[in-house]
């Protein structure tokens, strides 16, 4: 279980910073910065720049993403923003608009 979980009914407006991992199933507007994995679940709404060790997105994300390792945009995800990571996967059915930079 993730160390920090923002459930479906919760909205955070501001900055979230953690040394561990985060799962967002609710709403986050602001900034998200984690040292480990970030998961944005289906149904989640994130309007923030996101930094993490790795990132898995199944929900809606508007903002720039930077991951140390990899970024996975899953089916059903909707991402608007630039993605920068060593590896990027965009699944069939994911909607994405932005730049991809794998030149890390």
CA distance 24 to 8: 8
Instruction: Please list every residue from 22 through 41 that binds other proteins, using CB under 8 A.
Output: 22, 25-27, 30
Nearer to other proteins, 30 or 76 (CB): 30
91 is a contact residue toward other proteins (CB under 8 A)? no
Of 2-10, 60-68, 72-80, 81-89, which segment contacts other proteins by CB under 8 A? 2-10
Residue 36 CA, distance from chain mean position: 12
**Torsion angle, CA of 31/83/54/2, rounded to 10 degrees?**
40
3 is a contact residue toward other proteins (CB under 8 A)? yes
First to last CA, the chain: 30
Which residues are at the interface with other proteins (CB under 8 A)?
1-20, 22, 25-27, 30
């Amino acid at each position: 279980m993730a160390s920090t979980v923002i459930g479906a009914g919760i909205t955070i407006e501001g900055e979230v910073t953690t040394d561990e991992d985060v799962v967002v199933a609710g709403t986050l507007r602001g900034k998200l910065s984690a040292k480990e994995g970030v998961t944005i679940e289906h149904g989640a709404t994130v309007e923030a720049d996101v930094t993490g060790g790795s990132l898995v997105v199944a929900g809606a994300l508007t903002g720039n993403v930077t991951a140390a390792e990899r970024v996975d945009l899953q089916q059903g995800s909707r991402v608007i923003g630039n993605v920068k990571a060593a590896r990027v996967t965009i699944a069939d059915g994911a909607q994405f608009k932005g730049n991809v930079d794998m030149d890390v």
